[in-house]
Structure 1
Amino acid sequence: MASDVGEEGGGERELKSRLGQTFSLTEMAEEAELCFPLLANTSCRRTPRPRSVVVGATLLLSVMSLLTVILNLLLIISICHFRRLQTTTNLLLLSLASSDFFVGFFMLSQIFLLDGCWLFGDLMCALLYLLDHMITSASIGSMVLISVERYVAVCDPLRYQVRVTKRRVGVSIVLCWSLSSVFNVACSLDTLQRPGNAISCVGECLVIVSPAAGLVDLFLSFVGPIFVIVVLNMRVFVVAAFQARAQRSRVAVATARPSHGPKSSELRAARTLGVVVAVFVACIMPYFCVVISGQDVTLNASSAAVIICLFYSNSCLNPLIYAIFYPWFRRSIKLVVTLRIVQPDSSRTDLL
């Protein structure tokens, strides 16, 4: 999901590594410890910083990672266990929660970059960024699928049951993850074959792909999906607002005519997922704006940290939004935490 720094669409991979490489003052770099003391001539230098910064950043990333993993795991268990929750909409939420679950583990990788030293080798660095961008792409693709599903449910309710089936949703999810995997592997193929070809010293974790691949990735991972998501959800909001006014209309109540519009439950789901989409765009927009502008090399330490944490925080906020707006999720959490799901026929419990 990146290309070389300075190219349009290019600093995406490098920006994430800068969380652990831009916290120090320039004049302090010469006095920093070496990442690998035995390799004095080729080793990178550790990034000196106040202990309070290290402790605060480690604590923040650890808490965010733990919450992201636990909350999304609860959502995954809920949808997989309770049959009544396995609707077409929730299957898409399951895909999104699965990607967010793995993002929680990638947050921990940033802790290892806090001192500017990567200790696990060039191949692990390349694999880390490959998996990170693969999961991120799948998450964005899942959000696009959710927007399409909500658009059909609200704007074309008469044909929803025909056009949106569990089989089609399952195929769409598989294609989303497969295409994300194939594309990111293709972009990282050279790096995987020659890990460490972009580093300037031992202990640096940096992945660079060609400018052309970076531009294609920028469009497929950000510009195109955001355009589709915004357009579809604007249409959904317009229709939902119109239907909400119609339902409150005294004329509609007095005439008691049968309604062929979306159900109130569909409208509530549209509003909830609208909040999810809005939070999603707000969290990833700063990150990709920096990527597009190519100004990641000028970011100071605090700005880089905020952008990275905001990018990752979306995966933690999604299940919190579901807990606020979806009563069935709150009920399922209680059943899962109290281990009542191990009881016979618990999967048939009606939580809707």
Structure 2
Amino acid sequence: MQRVYDRLSPAQRVGQLLMIGLDGTSAASADDAQIARQHVGNVIYLGGWTGSSRIRSTSKHLQSQASSSATGGVPLLIAADQEGGSVQQLKGPGFTPLVSALQQGRMTAAKRIAYGKLIGGQLKAAGVNLNLAPVADTVPASMSASNAPIGKYAREYGHDPATVATSVTDIVHGLHSAGVGATVKHFPGLGRITGNTDVTTTGTTDTKTTRTDSYLKPFLAGMTAGAGAVMMSSARYDKLDPAERATFSSRIITDLLRGKLGWHGVVITDDMNAVAVQGVSTGQRAVRFVAAGGDIVLTGRADDAPTMTGALIARAKSDKKFAGQVEASTKRVLALKQRLGLLHC
């Protein structure tokens, strides 16, 4: 992997830290310019995708753009949100209509693992190598209706951490048995807030979660089971870091997730176009996330790529410590790609 890293230019290394969106209503070539000019190394399928054959041909096209001049020949992570229920971005022929996570949580372990394998197999066939699932958030039963981001859509596997942890473990194993990476989200948990960070800043502060909270156990279970990545929440956590949202917090990413919980893999943002982070400029969203210990900046708006990569490159040139963080992050992304069979070192 070191040899792959060494052959990448500084701009190509930074490009590995970006994941941009591709909408189902767009042409397969819509992200080509960003991959070529900004060296973007990862893409996420957003809504509106129907039919495995179309997605498979799009995935093939996207991977063909990962040329020596664009990404140093490093293939792309191609991701999707394929949870089940209300959150299933890829539908139609080749994709089974999926039941909600809450229903998956009631399955037997064997059936749930098989379900994860089914989801993974269908993603793999469409050229998707990273699922932005499973959800490791626990929503208390008393908040199942008032919790806007998770409970409202039955995205949780259950209402207690033990149930969620078991389910997350099974889904991770199922996805991996199909050759697709899993992503546990949204660390350190969205189950105790009322507002949805995608659309509001109101009600997006968690006043309960602590460093020793049982609600962290499902995330640890998914990490132990072999998840490929951990996605950060964009909420605030008064008892963890009252000054910063989780996605910009070194106390939460570096000290808690990487330090106390021992996570050495990829950390990815939730969509950086969320209303909750709009108070931070586009370039600084990327810089502050990487500075806090994160790796892949996910933005559904592909046009953000030049601003984000430019800000990361500029900061790395002027700040030796930050340059070291960029190096570590790039190597973590390359290690995940190697693990997924995309990179042969």
Same fold (TM over 0.5): no
The structure with the greater share of residues assigned to strand is: 2
Name the TM-score class by shorter chain: under 0.3
The structure with the greater share of residues assigned to helix is: 1
Higher-Rg structure is 1
TM-score, normalised to structure 2, is 0.26
